[in-house]
A and B are shown apart, each in its own frame.
Chain A
């Protein structure tokens, strides 16, 4: 075995995600955050008055709110971050119209490939703004709206005004307030009554300018009886100074609807990934979060489902992989606010090379939510003695007639498993990768094919990084 060859290739692979394309911003706000910056952002975007007020109020809330007292250590200087960067003057409609420099970035990320496969909508966010998007015609004909949130504010102001900030108000937490003040880009989706979209809608996000915060804002409304699977994938280049990603994702699942939101995130090691994701599910609606977190310096993310009416269902599947210098504080939140609601959380975490992963989850059953059922399974795999895993399960049950289960397991990668696979001719690295991939298999099989492949590939890179 030539280890040189292997590591050379690994470096090539990692570099694939570590390129910089020179950023030719058309407008770049100065560093820091204050009313002037917020006003400037709103002005640049030619937003209606109510949104400007909303932002300014959020800024005030952000300034007043304390930092979270739990989770990971956040060493951020909020005044040392760029909050807005507009990369190009107009939004590209066809591939030909997209500037070459941005195309190069996409090429390196393999996005045209996805574009070929998915004639549906590829919405790609380059820095703060959606620069390219295409939407399959019949979707539009069915009344589906799939656009960036800035355009939605312009083109569908009534929908925005009705739902924006109703699931995650600015007062929710400091980072939700920050996002509300400086948000830019993100996806807006409206699926009309009874429309079932049978292929995944995709969007790619990417942070590119150094010290550039990315604050996308996503709002998805799935009307009665409709269904959608939204997929978001991230890769970020590596930079030496801190970078902040703080998104807000709000989802409304109306009666009998179904929404699955799949995320695979692979952030660079210096990024703070502090995201608020929440969905509400009405009668007989199903909301599923599939959340894969790799990379970042610190991730704090707890996708939530509030089950508001009988028959609502919430499912959260989460994978976290914490390597050297990384802290994944990930988890889930289920709130049973009506009878006969069902929830499930499956969390799998892997810690390696001194990485730390924590499961932090809440199951809350409100008074009167009779016959509700909830089940939590969290498994942690620790690959070496330097790494760490913690579990913080919170269960609040205010109703008697319910069924709530919790199972947790922590295992170290078995010496016997390693020896067994190696005795069959698999190298130590290959064996480790296989064991880890097996560990997360229950989640990966829920992913669309190319994401499953990418996930396995990312795990392999993470694992190979430890050898030699």
Chain B
């Protein structure tokens, strides 16, 4: 299979404030990319814009999946086209059982043209598939009966996101700090699960601060974001360098982007205070 996700000169604004200022990125099916960068540099914004969050307005540039421009598509159409994002803090949907949610989602993504809500994956097949995926992720079978992200611990939330990814098997998945807020064991479990489920079976864009995730999912490419742009791209050695030595070298090498980044985070702080 040869799928591509091409992000061209992407500019994104949130509530009228420019965040992304010309991002270029190309992912191929089967590749693993790491996206790193200091806080507020625009990593999550990139993910949310690619996924089609209505508050993230694309002001210029495009997102193309297999040559098709998806920039104007709603989030559900993008999901059906093969895009996925594992969120940092997925919202709770009380009263909706994981199993019901996943059955509708998986059916829609696998058979996007049928009439919604009908012809769901047969219950028996679905249960079998879900159970085996949950076993793989070392999840308690009761998990399927719980309400979506409702009262989940940090670790449960992340595992639920990975489970969803496994059930939807997208062409491209963006993982937004799927390792944050977890203890060492949970990080290892999340990392190996992602490797098992996603590695070489989709294109991965991993947003992370940590090295554990990358240890199990060594990136083919590492991108560094600063001030809403990708300022540098390298191989796995770049990820190692950033992990060991931080962003000082990058900040010095790209003073304009650094200044923008500083301003963006300052605005964020003032906004928070206000």
Q: Which residues of A contact B (CB under 8 A)?
A: 1, 5-6, 9, 414-417, 419-431, 434-435, 437-442, 460
In the complex, which residues of chain A have a beta carbon less than 8 angstroms from the beta carbon of B113?
A: 1
Of A5, A417, A422, the residue contacting B79 (CB under 8 A) is: A422
Complex Cα distance A5/B117, Å? 13
CB pair B93–A417 under 8 Å, yes or no, is yes
A359 to chain B, nearest CB (A): 19
Complex Cα distance A424/B163, Å? 12
Q: Which residue among A429, A440, A441 has the maximum number of chain B CB atoms within 10 Å of its CB? A: A441
Asked if B115 is at the interface of the complex by the 8 Å CB criterion, the answer is: yes
**DSSP majority for the A interface?**
helix
Interface residues on B, range: 35 or more
B87-101, CB < 8 A from A: 87, 90-91, 93-96, 100-101
Known contacts A426-B104, A428-B76; is A437 also within 8 Å of B95 by CB? Answer: yes
CB pair A434–B104 under 8 Å, yes or no, is yes
CB pair B91–A423 under 8 Å, yes or no, is no
- Which residue of A is nearest B87, CB measured? A420
Complex Cα distance A40/B168, Å? 67
CB pair B115–A438 under 8 Å, yes or no, is no
Asked if B85 is at the interface of the complex by the 8 Å CB criterion, the answer is: yes
B104 to chain A, nearest CB (A): 6
Of B85, B91, B95, B106, the residue contacting A416 (CB under 8 A) is: B91
Of A414, A417, A425, A438, the residue contacting B76 (CB under 8 A) is: A425
Asked if B51 is at the interface of the complex by the 8 Å CB criterion, the answer is: yes
Complex Cα distance A345/B234, Å? 61
* Further contacts, 14 of them, CB under 8 A, given A421-B93, A423-B84, A460-B117: A419-B54, A420-B87, A420-B90, A420-B93, A422-B79, A423-B75, A423-B76, A425-B105, A430-B108, A430-B116, A435-B93, A435-B96, A437-B96, A438-B147
Q: Which residue among B94, B116, B147, B148 has the maximum number of chain A CB atoms within 10 Å of its CB? A: B116
In the complex, which residues of chain A have a beta carbon less than 8 angstroms from the beta carbon of B78?
A: 423
CB pair B75–A419 under 8 Å, yes or no, is yes
Asked if B41 is at the interface of the complex by the 8 Å CB criterion, the answer is: no
In the complex, which residues of chain B have a beta carbon less than 8 angstroms from the beta carbon of A5?
A: 115
CB pair A441–B95 under 8 Å, yes or no, is yes
In the complex, which residues of chain A have a beta carbon less than 8 angstroms from the beta carbon of B55?
A: 415
Asked if B17 is at the interface of the complex by the 8 Å CB criterion, the answer is: no
- Which residue of A is nearest B92, CB measured? A417
In the complex, which residues of chain B have a beta carbon less than 8 angstroms from the beta carbon of A439?
A: 94-95
Of B76, B91, B95, the residue contacting A427 (CB under 8 A) is: B76
B17-68, CB < 8 A from A: 51-55
Of A421, A428, A438, the residue contacting B94 (CB under 8 A) is: A438
CB pair B74–A422 under 8 Å, yes or no, is yes
In the complex, which residues of chain B have a beta carbon less than 8 angstroms from the beta carbon of A426?
A: 76, 104-105, 108
A11 to chain B, nearest CB (A): 14
Of B54, B74, B87, B104, the residue contacting A430 (CB under 8 A) is: B104
3 nearest CB pairs, A to B: A438-B95, A441-B95, A438-B96
CB pair B79–A434 under 8 Å, yes or no, is no
In the complex, which residues of chain B have a beta carbon less than 8 angstroms from the beta carbon of A415?
A: 54-55
CB pair A434–B116 under 8 Å, yes or no, is no
Of A1, A9, A414, A441, the residue contacting B96 (CB under 8 A) is: A441
